[in-house]
Homo-oligomer: A and B are copies of this chain.
């Protein structure tokens, strides 16, 4: 949530002139996404979001991200559609940064999802998984199983500064996940970060999915696990099985989970909780104390992880026994 790169009005007007969008009418830096700089742009042709990719994004990944949004939009997923410039390119350069312009989506993200939102989200996630088929560019999940240990090693020595005992908890969990992680799950393009922030609603209807900058090829059911973590816990970190049930039922209305996916949901949820614990833990220790953008509390994911460790089967998430 920040504007990292300031763009001069001259540079921006020149950039916009490279598109068939008419004159620039307004530009506002918007607080959306934590990784990149985003501007909401009005031109004579409508509203657009201009993204300048900051240092944490690997420019080599941009054809995947932009191509994926275009592929998904073509399959009927309401997501930002990259706009082609007069030369046909979706990726340009502005103020020394890679930059792209995408269509603006109306909709409001919900801070505290209700059961109905979880149901709609589940269905949208499954449709996203189906729609990703046929997209030919591939991108490894840098924050998947193989990435967790190296990430942890970057702050292991200081993990107990976050909370006493955290280092041994994470070590144990890494050992468990290395041993138990399922190998043969159905794979495809996953969003990998489909938090409520990244889903726009109009009423109870999903109006758009955004922020595909963690998307990658990985297990579909892992994406389900990310969403169970992100959507179905209450503010006191109790798991709401009614929301879990709605999310999983919504998902299965568009794509059935295989027996292996169902059986491994608890371990996938543990992995997903660890993934956010690790990135938050790293950020917690590396964000200046006075920064305006406060890091998220990593312990929120310790609390989720403890729930997942107590789970005996996917039914505990609300999955129907014979769905």
Contact = CB atoms under 8 A, between A and B. Distances in A.
Interface of A: 1-3, 8-10, 12-13, 23-32, 40, 42, 104-112, 200, 202-203, 288-293
Contact of A108 (B9, B29, B30): B9
Given A42-B106, A290-B290, A202 B25 contact: yes
A27 B108 contact: yes
B2 A292 contact: yes
Nearest to A32: B28
Contacts of A30: 28-31, 40
30 contacts: A1-B29, A3-B31, A9-B108, A9-B109, A9-B111, A10-B111, A12-B108, A13-B108, A23-B202, A23-B203, A25-B106, A25-B107, A25-B108, A25-B202, A26-B104, A26-B106, A26-B107, A26-B108, A27-B108, A28-B28, A28-B31, A28-B32, A29-B31, A29-B32, A30-B31, A31-B31, A40-B40, A288-B290, A290-B291, A292-B293
Given A28-B30, A29-B31, A200-B26, A10 B112 contact: yes
A28 B13 CA distance: 22
B40 A9 contact: no
Contacts of A1: 3, 29
How many identical chains are in the complex? 2
A92 B83 CA distance: 39
